[in-house]
Amino acid sequence: MASTDALHDLAGLTEAQLLELYRRMVLLRTYDERSVVYHRQGRIGTYAIFWNHEAIQAGATFALTDDDWIFPSYRESAIGLVRGMPAVTLLQWWRGHPSGWWSPADWNVASIAVPIASHLPHAAGLAWGKKLRGESTVAMAFFGDGATSEGEFHEGVNFAAVMNAPAVFVCNNNQWAISTPIEAQTRAESLADKAIGYGIPGVRVDGLDVLAVYAAAREAVERARGGGGPTLIEAVHYRAAPHATADDPRAYIDLARVEEERARECVGRYEQLLRDAGVLTDELVELTRKDAEDLLRAGITAAEAEPPADPELLFRNAYVDPPGNMRIG
């Protein structure tokens, strides 16, 4: 596995880029931690925690341009933040409010896919379509280890490979699919090995090393844009938080391993790296955290100020001609 210690050169990024990457990680971390609090306060609904997945999300998307498309699962629900999507939009999604349904074309961020792996064929199709139009857009899809057992994982990756579509498939291998461990998910030694069956490159990276994820994604994006087809990236770590706010992992997870994982969490690790490199100061850390906290505070205030959704909307978007028994009033 590539690691920052081995790369030494901070992935060739400038100081400004390194700090922007840090800002994005802090923003994601703050969004996640505040969301768990908002859930406990009854201000958002059930929420899929992504604590310690920030290096994968920020690192991989840092290799994209704003014209490239991101296809998130529920685990990457807040990934629009890296594109400047307002926090209120994402918070409203988790509040079940229609103002949380953004138009994908506005941000080049597809809708959050809750059905596992259902967005992989979409990513393959978009990438292929853009290629047919002569555009240089890349599509990057995020999914979990459990998703690699779904038919749509196979369909999406195989289709992208056969069509030589400019797609990057980023597998967040947190080694759990709710309570199903990776050992019960596959006999494959690594998930990256699955790429062999599709005839595409597969790489494994340390999912807590943001620069290693970025470097792997940059190579994959360059290959895709250059006509070299898709890549499967497996970012390995160990889920250090519950699957979601409704889950109690104490019933099944290795708690000692969770403690270890929390001790080497990815934001603090990157922060230390930047301090050691002389790029980050205490003052900048405080400022970056405060900006993110202010953004979230403003986001939840704006969300709660919006009038509740009209319940009729549910039916309006489901039927052109609602049957009589569905008509309200």
Ligand X SMILES: Cc1ncc(C[n+]2csc(CCOP(=O)(O)OP(=O)(O)O)c2C)c(N)n1
Q: Which residues make up the interface to ligand X (CB under 6 A)?
A: 75, 114-116, 143-147, 172, 174, 176-178, 243
Q: Which residues share a beta bridge with 113?
A: 73
Q: Which of residues 137 and 185 has its CB atom nearest to ligand X in the complex?
A: 185
Residue 119 designated active-site: no
Q: How far is the CB of 50 from ligand X (least distance, A)?
A: 8
Q: Which of residues 50 and 159 has its CB atom nearest to ligand X in the complex?
A: 50
Q: Choosing among ligand X, Mg ion, none, which partner's interface includes residue 245 (Cβ < 5 to 8 Å by kind)? A: none
Q: Note whether 123 and 139 are within 8 A (CB).
A: yes
Q: Which of residues 108 and 172 has its CB atom nearest to ligand X in the complex?
A: 172
User: Site residues (CB under 5 A) for Mg ion?
Assistant: 144-145, 174, 176-177
The vertex-300 CA angle with 112 and 83, nearest 5°, equals: 45
Question: Helix, strand, coil shares of the chain as percentages rounded to 5?
Answer: 50, 10, 35
- Residues whose CB falls within 8 Å of the CB of residue 89, separated by 6 or more in sequence, listed in order: 80, 99, 100, 102
Q: How buried is residue 323: exposed, middle or buried, by Cβ count under 10 Å (0-12/13-18/19+)?
A: exposed
Q: Choosing among ligand X, Mg ion, none, which partner's interface includes residue 196 (Cβ < 5 to 8 Å by kind)? A: none
Q: How far is the CB of 240 from ligand X (least distance, A)?
A: 12
Query: Can you read off the two tokens belonging to residue 102?
Result: 């953004």
Q: Choosing among ligand X, Mg ion, none, which partner's interface includes residue 215 (Cβ < 5 to 8 Å by kind)? A: none
Catalytic residue among 24, 29, 239, 269: 239
CA distance 182 to 237: 12
Catalytic residue among 53, 95, 243, 269: 243
Q: Which of residues 218 and 243 has its CB atom nearest to ligand X in the complex?
A: 243
Q: 3-state DSSP call for residue 266?
A: helix
DSSP 235: E
Integer-rounded Cα radius of gyration of the chain: 20
Q: How far is the CB of 156 from ligand X (least distance, A)?
A: 13
H/E stretch holding 23: helix 15-40
Q: 135 vs 132, 158, 225, CA distance in Å?
A: 8, 21, 9
Query: Can you read off the two tokens belonging to residue 103?
Result: 């138009």
Residue 252 designated active-site: yes
Q: Which of residues 195 and 280 has its CB atom nearest to ligand X in the complex?
A: 195
Nearest residue to the partner ligand X, using Cβ: 144
User: Concatenated DSSP letters for 196-214?
Assistant: HHHTS-EEEEETT-HHHHH
Active site members: 239, 243, 252
